[in-house]
Amino acid sequence: DGGITQSPKYLFRKEGQNVTLSCEQNLNHDAMYWYRQDPGQGLRLIYYSQIVNDFQKGDIAEGYSVSREKKESFPLTVTSAQKNPTAFYLCASSLPRGTDYGYTFGSGTRLTVV
Amino acid sequence: KNEVEQSPQNLTAQEGEFITINCSYSVGISALHWLQQHPGGGIVSLFMLSSGKKKHGRLIATINIQEKHSSLHITASHPRDSAVYICAIGILTGGGNKLTFGTGTQLKVEL
């Protein structure tokens, strides 16, 4: 079955370390997104990519970096510059620009920085 | 003011009750999504609406574009419906199909 795989489900890191969250999709979607969820707040957009080798900053990109070398993969790196990295991170994908059809979410990664 | 407002924030119902969750938004949209998030955190897309009404099983979603308002109804509620229900609006921009999310409605259905 097609879908989005995020790994790992839970991740613990020491303060000051970079960490990379994986997101893989086999839906043949062109667009991919990273969202962050904090308690009591709606999901907020970190980065998105509409096509391979291209990506744009979202609303809260500071302290994060991404790459899109393959259509299927959109890894997110949480750098030591991110002031408050402990959160729930969700990856999503959708069909091409100009339509909302097929918006699909992964199961998320819960990152805890100690 | 958030672009997407949901009400209520929390809702407790008895099994079998009819449930309504509301979503209001303040900007023009391309579509509105209703999403379900279970305690494990993963999100499932329930509906995408740009007009009218959609039904899937015991779930019904409606949207009034003129009033910028949508409702999600659950008929004959069951404890397995307990989850967070999230409204999100799609806004077409030069940057593609980004969604703006409400803060969610925590639903608990009791036996």
Mind listing the pLDDT tens digit for each residue in A94-106?
Answer: 886 655 567 888 9
Close Cβ partners of A84 (under 8 Å, ≥ 6 residues apart) = none
Quick check: helix, strand or coil at residue A81? coil
Asked if B73 and B88 count as a contact pair (C-beta separation under 8 A), the reply is: no
> How high is the pLDDT of residue A40?
82
Chain-chain contact of B42 with A40 (C-beta, under 8 angstroms): no
State which residue of chain B sits closest to A92, comparing Cα positions: B43
Asked if B40 and A90 count as a contact pair (C-beta separation under 8 A), the reply is: no
User: What mean pLDDT is reported for chain A?
Assistant: 91
Chain-chain contact of A48 with B43 (C-beta, under 8 angstroms): no
With b meaning 16 or more CB within 10 Å and e meaning fewer, what string describes B51-88?
eeeeeeeebbbbbeeeebebbbbbeebeeebbbbbbbb
> How high is the pLDDT of residue B40?
78
> How high is the pLDDT of residue A1?
65
> How high is the pLDDT of residue B98?
79
> How high is the pLDDT of residue A99?
57
